[in-house]
Structure 1
Amino acid sequence: MDLLQLPSELLYLWHTHRTEVLLSVGILFAVVRLALHWRTRRSKQTLTPPALSPIEEKSLPALIQQPVEPDEYTKLPAPRPPRPDTGPKRVTGTKRTKAIPAAKEPVVDSIQPIIFYFTLGGTTRAYAEYQASLLASPSRQILNPEILDLAQIDYDDYFISPPKSPSANTAFFYILLIPSYDIDTELSNFLAHLRETHHDFRIDTAPLAGLAGYSVFGVGDKREWKTEGEGYCKDAIEVDKWMARLTGRKRGYPLGQGDTSGNGVVETTLREWTEGIKSVIFGLAKGEGLGEGVKGSGEAVESEDDDDDGEGESGALELEDGRAANLRSQRKPSKRSQTDDLEDLRAPIPVDFTTTRPSSKTIPPPPKAMVPVNSPTYNSLTKQGYTIVGSHSGVKICRWTKSALRGRGSCYKYSFYGIASHLCMEATPSLSCSNKCVFCWRHGTNPVGTIWRWTVDPPDLVFAGMKEGHYKKIKMLRGVPGVRAERFAEAMRIRHCALSLVGEPIFYPHINELLAMLHGERISSFLVCNAQHPDQLAALGPVTQLYVSIDASNKDSLRRIDRPLHRDFWERFLRCMDILREKRFTHRTVFRLTLVKGFNIEEEAEGYADLVARALPTFVEVKGVTYCGTSTATGAGLSMGNVPFYEEVQAFVLSLEAALLRRGLEYGIAAEHAHSCCVLLADRGRFFKRAEGDEGGERKWHTLIDYAAFFRCLEGGEAFGPEDYVGEPTPEWAAWGRGGFDPRDERVDRKGKPKVVEVVG
C-alpha cells in the first residue's frame, strides 16, 4: 500500500465510524467517573457516619445504648436508637412544632376577684357573700370582689375570654362556688359550655389564659353522697377540670370541698380555704405568680382522670417504639396503638358542639325527670302557683282569669281574637327553655337546655293532668269575693289553651299529639315558641294560632336580651323566620315583640321591619315588658326603668308601621289593649276588608277568630288556611285609639275601687 494513500484511508474510516467511536468514548468516561465518585463517597461514610444512622462498627455500640444528653449550648437532640429493618418508618401522633419561648408575664399591679356561684335555694349565694366579706380589703392591690350568679350571666362574656380589665395592669382571679344537685339545673348547661368551649376548634386551646388564676370550692351533703365517686361535689370537680384546661393550668389553689351536713362545718372550711386564696392573690399582686409547684401541679388530671378525651396535651411526635419525642409527651403517653399507620388517621367526625356532647367511653345515664317531686325546682315552682303535671309539664291560673271571673276585664286576647280569659287554660308541656331572657322572672327555677334529655310523659297523661290541675285552681276561686256565678260556671269548660306558660312548648317530643287532643275536645290552641328550634317548628301540625317571640332585630341584641344557650342561635332564628314564611298560608302566624327599654326599642324599628319582610307573619303584636320586681330580674340587669310607658309603645308601633310601608308591606294598626300595654298590627290585604256580600260597605278589621269554623276545617280533613276561619269584625272599643277595654266589664284599681276608663288618643 502506498504510504501516501494511508491518511486518506484513515480519514475515510473516521468519517464512516466517528459516531460509534465518540459514543463509546463517552460511555467509557462516564463509567469511570461514576466508579470513582461512588468509591470516594463510600470511604467518607465509613470514616464519618451521619447522626442517628444505624451502623455496624463494633467500636460504637456504647454510644447507641447510652444516648448522649443534649448539650447545654448547642441544644442538639440525643441520637436515637437503631431501628430494625422491618419496613418503612411509621410515625404516630401529631406534628411536633418548634418550641416557642414562653411569653413574658405582663406586669400586674392589682387583682380583681370575681366570685361566681349557683344556687336554687339561696344557700350558696350566702356563702358567696360571706366569702366576699372575707376577701374585702382596703388594699390597692386587691380590689373588692364582684359576685355574679351563673344563672344570670352570659357565659360568653366570662368563659370564652376574660372580661375587659378596668385598667391595663389589673388581672382577674375567678372563684367558683359550685353546689351539686341530683337534678338537671342551669349548672348542667354551664358545664356543657365549658366542655364545648374546650372542644370548639374555632377557639384557642386556653382562651382564659389571661386570668391571674382560678379556684373552685364545692358544696355537697355527705349524708347523700358519701364519697366523690358517689357524687359528692361532683359538679365542682368537673368545673375544676375544665377550668384547668381553659386557663392553661392556672389553678391558684386546690379544689375545696365543704360538707353541709354538719353545723358550721362548711363555713369553717370555706373560711380556711378563703385564707389560702387570699394569700395566693396577695402573692399575685406582688408579682410572685402562681409558682411552679410540683410536677403536674395545675393540670386538669389533678381533679379527675383525663383519659376519656383521648387527647394529647403536649402535641408531641411519638416514635414507633413508644419513646417520647420530648419531655412533655413522656408525662402522658399517646394511647394510639403501635401498629397504627398514617392511613388509619381518618378525618374527624363533624360534631355539632351546640347540641351534642363529646363522646365518652362511659354509658350515658338513663334519663331523669325534668322536675322531680320534692326537688328544689318542684318546690320553687309550686310556691309560685304552678301545678306540676307528670315530670315536665305545668299549668297555672293567669291573673287575667281571676279578673275575668270577677267582671274586671280580660287580657288582650279578648280584644284582638275574641278569647275570654276565664275560658282560657294557660299551660305548657315543657317547663324547660333554651333561653335565659332578661325579662323572665323564673331564672333558677325552671330547667334550661338545648336538647331533650329527660324522661318523656305520654301526651294523654299530660293532657289529663293539665285539665285536672286547671279545674282544681278554678274551684279554689269559688269563694273569692266578686266572682260572678255565671262566669264561674262557664270557666268549668275550657274553651282555649295558651301553650305559653313558661319554657318551650314546642320542645315537647309529642307536641302534635297533644294539640290533636286539645282540638279533639274543641279547645282552640295558641302556641308560643322562641325561634330556637327550627326542626320542631317545621314539623308542627295544625294549631289555631302560632306565635314566635321576636325579642330583638339583630344578632347582638338577641344575644343580650334572650341570652340563648345555642351557639348558633342567630342561624336558628333566621331559619325559623323562613319556616314561618312557608307556613303563612296554612297557619295564623304572629310575631310577638316584647319591648324592653334600653335593650330593643331605640332605633330598631327598621330592623324589625326587615324581619317582618322576611317572614311575612299574619299579625305583629307589640307589647311592653312586664316587670315582676324580683331580685332575679334585677340581677339580670332589668329594673322599672326598662319598662316602657304605653305612649312609648304607641310611638314605636307608628315607627314600625311607617317602616313597613316604606318596604311596600301593607300592615296597619288593627287593635290595641292599653291595659296590657299591647298593640296589634295586621296584614291589611288579608284582614282589612268588607263584610261578605256587602261590596259597597266600609272596610273593617277582622282579627277575631271563628272557632267553630276552625274546627269544621280541621275535621273536614282538607287543606285550609287562616282566611277560612276569619271571625266577626274587631269590636269598635278595641280599635286604635279606643283603649281596648270591654265596656261590659268594670275596671278597678288595686284596692278594688272603680276606675275611670280613659280613652287613649
Structure 2
Amino acid sequence: MSSLDTLAQLPAELLLIWHNHRIALLFSAVALTAFVRLTLYARRHRQKVSASPIPGSPVEKKAVELRPEWLPENTTIDTSTLNVDDHAEDVTNAVATIAKSKKGPKTVKGRKTPKKILVPAPNFDHKTDKIQPVVFFQSLSGTTERYATGFAKVLTEWTTGCDQSTSFLEPQVHDISYIEYDDYFISPPKLEANVKQFYIILLPTYNIDTVLDNFLENLQETHNDFRIDTAPLRSLLGYSVFGFGDKEGWPTEEEGFCSQAREVDRWMARLTGRKRAYPLGMGDTKADTADRLQEWRLGVQEALVEIAEGRGLGDGVPGSGDAAESDEEEDVEENNGQNTRVDEIEELGSMVDSETSTPIPVDFTNYKSKSKTLIKSTAAPKEMVPTTSPTHAALTKQGYSIIGSHSGVKICRWTKSALRGRGSCYKYSFYGIASHLCMEATPSLSCSNKCVFCWRHGTNPVGTTWRWITDAPDLIFDGITAAHYKKIKMMKGVPGVRAERFAEAMRIRHCALSLVGEPIFYPHINELLNIMHSNRISTFLVCNAQHPAQLASLVPVTQLYVSIDASNKESLRKIDRPLHRDFWERFCACLDILRNRRYEQRTVFRLTLVKGFNMAEEVRGYADLVERALPGFVEVKGVTYCGTSAAGSAGLTMQNVPFYEEVAAFVTELEKELNSRGLTYGIGAEHAHSCCVLLADKTRFMPRGKWATRIDFERFFDLHEGKIEGTRMEGGKVVGWRPEDYVGDETPEWALWGNGGFDPRDQRVYRKGKGPKAEEGEKDGASTTTKVKHEALEF
C-alpha cells in the first residue's frame, strides 16, 4: 500500500517542482533554441572556398550539366566559368555569378537583342521586280472561304489603287484542300524571273481531324526531312497568317484558341528562314472577326508597301516586325550555347549543400516548349467525326447518316430510281445487283487521298494512320442497317414507288463498301465483312491502293475493287493528291497483291476517266497496269461532276466530264492494246446512262462462247459457309474457292456491248430537254453514244 501511496503523490510533487523552477527552465529552453537556430543559419550560408582551382580529374561528385533547353526562357550560360571538362575553375568565381536572394518576385534577366538596320529583301529589286500575293485558305463550313474571298477582293482593289500599284500582280487564291503541297510548300512555284511571291494564309481551327492536320504534318516533315533544305521557302518575300477561332470552345490561346493557325505560323517561320512580314492575327468568329481581320489586313498591306519600296521586312529578328515574337520558333541550334551568360538565377547557392556527396537536382525544364509534345503523346484518341463538329453537320446535310464516330450510310440515287421502276445502276447490268436491294456504306469516313473528283466536297476527314476511337464491328453493322432501313421507309410515300420493290428493299442483299473514305482503313474490317457474310449480304469493297498491308490481310469478299485513277506516278499525284509520300510504291504493291489473289476472289480495276487529267495518250500506261495485276474485270467510267465550288477550286469543271462516246472510244483502244499483248480481254457489257463500260477476261468469264459476268450470290454464300466445296487447289489439295465457282447466269442481251445496258422491264424517264431525240443518231449495231453527259451517282 505504501508504494501505491507514493505513486499517488508523484503528480503533486512534480507540480510543486515546476512552480519552484519554471522561470529557470523557460529561459534555458529559449536559449538552447536560439543557439541551435543561429548555428544552423551560419552553417547554411557558409561557402567552402578552395585556394586553388578544382582539379579536372575524376571526383566523387557529379557535375550538374545545365543544358540550354533546360533553362527558363531568356536565360543563358556563362561559359567562362566552365572548364573543358565541365568543372568550375574556382568555386568562388562560380558562386559569384549567382545572384543573392532578394525579397519580392523572382525575375530572370536576359540580354536585349540590338536592333538591326533596315535592309532590302534579298534577291528583290524594288525598281523592276513584281510582287505576287498568294492567298491560301481552308474551310469546312464555308465561313473561312467567305472571309478569304472577301479579303482577296479588297486586297486586289488595294493593289490596283495604291501608289505602288505597278509593283503588284493580282492576288492568287488557293484552297489548301485542293492544292499539291509539294508545289507550294517545298519550294514556291516557278514564275517569271522578276516575280517574287508573298504568302498570305487564312485558317480556322478545329478540334477534329481535317485537312489541316495533314497540312501541319506535311510542314513538319518538310522541315525535318534531311533531303530538303530546312528553309526551302526562303525565296519568298515574306508571309503572314490569320487564324479564325471560337473563344466559347477555347477561351484562351493556351487552351487552343486559333491553335492550328499558330502552329502554321511557327512552321512557316522555320521554312522561310523567319520571314514573318506581319504578326499572327486572330479573330473570334462569334465576336470580333471582321474588326481583327481588317486590322491585320492593313498591317499586311503596310508590310507589302515596305517591301515594294525596298525597305525589306522591318526591324528586329530576320523576317519579323516584332523582335518579341522570335521566341515562337523555338529552334534549337547547335551553337545556341555560345557567347551567352547567366545574368541571374535566384537562390541557387542556398539550394545546394556544399558538403553533401551528391548535388540536389534542379529542374530547369522549359515547360512551354515541351508541353505540346507531351500533351500530344499522352492524349487519348479522339472521335473521327464528333456530333458537334462541322464535318458531322456537313455530311449530315449531304444526306449521310453518321454511325458511331467514324462510319456512315447513305441511300444512292439509283436505289430511289429502282424503287420506282426507273432502272438500276451499272452494277445490275454487269453483275446482277438490283439497286433497291443494295446498301451503300463505309466503316471509315477517313481517306488517304484528296481526289479532285471527290463528291464529298472536301468535308470528310483525311489521314495516313488510324488514330481515332474505334467502334466495334457489330455496332457498325447494326447502325448502318438500321439507318438504311429508316431511309427506305421514308420512300414509301414517294409517288411511283412499286409496292413489290419496296417490300424487297426491306431485306438488304448487297453492300457496296465504298460510300466515302477508305473502308480497309478500319482496323476491324475483316470482322465486319464476316458479319455481313454470315447475314448473307454480298460485299463489294473499293480501295484506293494506298494500304497494301491491310489489303494483303483482307478476307475474301464477293468482289474486290481497286481504284485506278491514273496510269503513271505524275498523273496519279495530280488527280488523287495522295497524302502518303510513297504513294506510287504503295500503289504498285497493291497491284501485285491483287495479282496474287486473283484466284481467291473476283478482282476489278476501276478506271475513272477525267478529261484533261488521265485520258490523253494514257492507254498504253493503263494496259501496263492491267498486265501487271491481271484483274478479272476492268470497269471504265467517266467522272461524275459533283457541281460544287469545292470541285471548281480544284480545277474540275463540266469540261472535264467526258461524253459517253469518248469513254467508249477509250475502252475500244484499251481493248486493242491489251489484245496486242496477248491478254484476252473483251468488252463484256455496258451501261450508257452511267457512262460505264466493262472489260472482262474471256478465258474466265466467257464460258461456252457467251459472256457470263453476273454473280451467283447464293452459291457464294454456300461456298463461304462450307456447304459446297470450291475448286481452288494448292499442292493437290482443295484450299478454297475460285471466282469461277460462283459465276452466275449469262449476261442478258440488253446489257451487252451495243445495246445500252438499260433493263427493258424498267421505264426510262428522261429529264426535261434530254429525251429520246438525243438518241436518234444511233446506228445499227453501234453503241448508244448519246451526247448527254451522265448524271449517275453511284460509287
User: What is the TM-score of this pair, normalised by structure 2?
Assistant: 0.75
707, 710, 713: which is aligned to 2:719? 713
164, 168, 172: which is aligned to 2:190? 164
SS of the aligned residue for 1:378 comes to helix
Residues 443, 519 of structure 2: 8 Å contact kept: yes
Aligned counterparts of 1:701 and 1:329: Cα–Cα separation in 2: 85
Map of 1:128 onto structure 2: 148
Residues 159, 194 of structure 1: 8 Å contact kept: yes
Residues 585, 722 of structure 1: 8 Å contact kept: yes
746, 757, 761: which is aligned to 2:763? 746
Residues 135, 173 of structure 2: 8 Å contact kept: yes
Aligned counterparts of 1:301 and 1:464: Cα–Cα separation in 2: 56
- Closer, same or farther: CA 752–430 of 1 in aligned 2, 3 Å: farther
Q: What is the correspondence of 1:198-237 to structure 2 with a 5 Å cutoff? A: 198-237=223-262
Offset from partner CA, 1:6-26 (integer Å, 9 cap, x none)? xxxxxxxxxxxxxxxxxxxxx
Aligned counterparts of 2:341 and 2:520: Cα–Cα separation in 1: 50
Map of 1:70 onto structure 2: none
Aligned counterparts of 1:86 and 1:204: Cα–Cα separation in 2: 34
Tell me the amino acid that sits aligned with residue 107 of structure 1: D
Residues 115, 128 of structure 1: 8 Å contact kept: yes
Tell me the amino acid that sits aligned with residue 735 of structure 1: L
Map of 2:743 onto structure 1: 726
1:183 aligns with 2:208: yes
Offset from partner CA, 1:13-47 (integer Å, 9 cap, x none)? xxxxxxxxxxxxxxxxxxxxxxxxxxxxxxxxxxx
376, 388, 403: which is aligned to 2:390? 376
Aligned counterparts of 1:750 and 1:300: Cα–Cα separation in 2: 64
Per-residue deviation, 1:726: 0.7
1:246 aligns with 2:260: no
Map of 1:409 onto structure 2: 423
Map of 2:437 onto structure 1: 423
Map of 1:144 onto structure 2: 170
Offset from partner CA, 1:520-568 (integer Å, 9 cap, x none)? 1101000000000111000100200000000000000001100111111
- Closer, same or farther: CA 301–741 of 1 in aligned 2, 3 Å: farther
Tell me the amino acid that sits aligned with residue 552 of structure 2: A
553, 558, 565: which is aligned to 1:539? 553
Per-residue deviation, 1:163: 1.2
SS of the aligned residue for 1:140 comes to helix
SS of the aligned residue for 1:144 comes to coil
Tell me the amino acid that sits aligned with residue 740 of structure 1: G
Tell me the amino acid that sits aligned with residue 143 of structure 2: T
- Closer, same or farther: CA 81–457 of 1 in aligned 2, 3 Å: closer
Tell me the amino acid that sits aligned with residue 411 of structure 2: I
1:612 aligns with 2:626: yes
Tell me the amino acid that sits aligned with residue 285 of structure 1: A
**Which runs of 5 or more structure 1 residues have no equivalent in the other structure?**
1-78, 88-101, 331-357, 691-698
Map of 2:446 onto structure 1: 432
Per-residue deviation, 1:687: 1.0
300, 305, 308: which is aligned to 1:285? 308
1:107 aligns with 2:107: no
Per-residue deviation, 1:312: 3.1
Per-residue deviation, 1:134: 2.9
1:737 aligns with 2:754: yes
SS of the aligned residue for 2:415 comes to helix
1:703 aligns with 2:709: yes
Tell me the amino acid that sits aligned with residue 384 of structure 1: Q
- Closer, same or farther: CA 372–233 of 1 in aligned 2, 3 Å: same
Per-residue deviation, 1:223: 2.1
Aligned counterparts of 2:758 and 2:329: Cα–Cα separation in 1: 63
Q: What is the correspondence of 1:285-304 to structure 2 with a 5 Å cutoff? A: 285-294=308-317, 297=320, 302=325
Aligned counterparts of 2:341 and 2:441: Cα–Cα separation in 1: 57
Aligned residues: 624
Residues 151, 443 of structure 1: 8 Å contact kept: no
Residues 420, 497 of structure 2: 8 Å contact kept: yes
Map of 1:687 onto structure 2: 701
553, 562, 572: which is aligned to 1:548? 562
Per-residue deviation, 1:183: 1.4
Map of 2:572 onto structure 1: 558
Aligned counterparts of 2:750 and 2:84: Cα–Cα separation in 1: 95
Tell me the amino acid that sits aligned with residue 117 of structure 1: F
- Closer, same or farther: CA 80–754 of 1 in aligned 2, 3 Å: closer
Aligned counterparts of 1:598 and 1:402: Cα–Cα separation in 2: 32
Per-residue deviation, 1:80: 8.8
Structure with higher RCO (Cα < 8 A, 6+ apart): 2
Residues 641, 657 of structure 2: 8 Å contact kept: yes
Map of 1:457 onto structure 2: 471
Offset from partner CA, 1:382-415 (integer Å, 9 cap, x none)? 1111111111111111011111111111111111
| Bigger Cα displacement from structure 2, 434-443 vs 460-469 | 434-443
Residues 241, 300 of structure 1: 8 Å contact kept: no
SS of the aligned residue for 1:191 comes to helix
SS of the aligned residue for 1:470 comes to helix
Aligned counterparts of 2:398 and 2:572: Cα–Cα separation in 1: 28
Aligned counterparts of 2:568 and 2:702: Cα–Cα separation in 1: 30
Aligned counterparts of 2:323 and 2:227: Cα–Cα separation in 1: 21
Aligned counterparts of 1:227 and 1:174: Cα–Cα separation in 2: 27
**Which runs of 5 or more structure 2 residues have no equivalent in the other structure?**
1-78, 88-119, 344-371, 726-734, 784-795
- Closer, same or farther: CA 267–541 of 1 in aligned 2, 3 Å: same
277, 292, 316: which is aligned to 1:269? 292
- Closer, same or farther: CA 503–629 of 1 in aligned 2, 3 Å: same
Residues 245, 299 of structure 1: 8 Å contact kept: no
SS of the aligned residue for 1:705 comes to coil
Residues 511, 537 of structure 2: 8 Å contact kept: yes
1:481 aligns with 2:518: no
SS of the aligned residue for 1:363 comes to helix
Residues 279, 322 of structure 2: 8 Å contact kept: no
Q: What is the correspondence of 1:8-27 to structure 2 with a 5 Å cutoff? A: none
Per-residue deviation, 1:700: 0.5
Per-residue deviation, 1:298: 7.5
- Closer, same or farther: CA 362–373 of 1 in aligned 2, 3 Å: closer
- Closer, same or farther: CA 132–420 of 1 in aligned 2, 3 Å: same
Q: What is the correspondence of 1:60-75 to structure 2 with a 5 Å cutoff? A: none
Offset from partner CA, 1:324-344 (integer Å, 9 cap, x none)? 2x68999xxxxxxxxxxxxxx
Q: What is the correspondence of 1:45-124 to structure 2 with a 5 Å cutoff? A: 105-108=123-126, 109-124=129-144
SS of the aligned residue for 2:709 comes to coil
- Closer, same or farther: CA 384–702 of 1 in aligned 2, 3 Å: same
Tell me the amino acid that sits aligned with residue 666 of structure 1: T
Q: What is the correspondence of 1:378-397 to structure 2 with a 5 Å cutoff? A: 378-397=392-411
Aligned counterparts of 2:86 and 2:405: Cα–Cα separation in 1: 63
Aligned counterparts of 1:229 and 1:401: Cα–Cα separation in 2: 49
- Closer, same or farther: CA 685–406 of 1 in aligned 2, 3 Å: same
Per-residue deviation, 1:362: 5.3
- Closer, same or farther: CA 517–379 of 1 in aligned 2, 3 Å: same
Aligned counterparts of 1:249 and 1:628: Cα–Cα separation in 2: 41
Per-residue deviation, 1:130: 2.5
Aligned counterparts of 1:299 and 1:292: Cα–Cα separation in 2: 7
Tell me the amino acid that sits aligned with residue 271 of structure 1: Q
Per-residue deviation, 1:260: 2.1
Per-residue deviation, 1:105: 2.7
Aligned counterparts of 2:558 and 2:202: Cα–Cα separation in 1: 46
Per-residue deviation, 1:593: 0.1
SS of the aligned residue for 1:627 comes to coil
Aligned counterparts of 1:428 and 1:284: Cα–Cα separation in 2: 51
558, 578, 584: which is aligned to 1:570? 584
280, 285, 292: which is aligned to 1:260? 285
Per-residue deviation, 1:268: 1.3
Per-residue deviation, 1:751: 4.9
Map of 1:65 onto structure 2: none
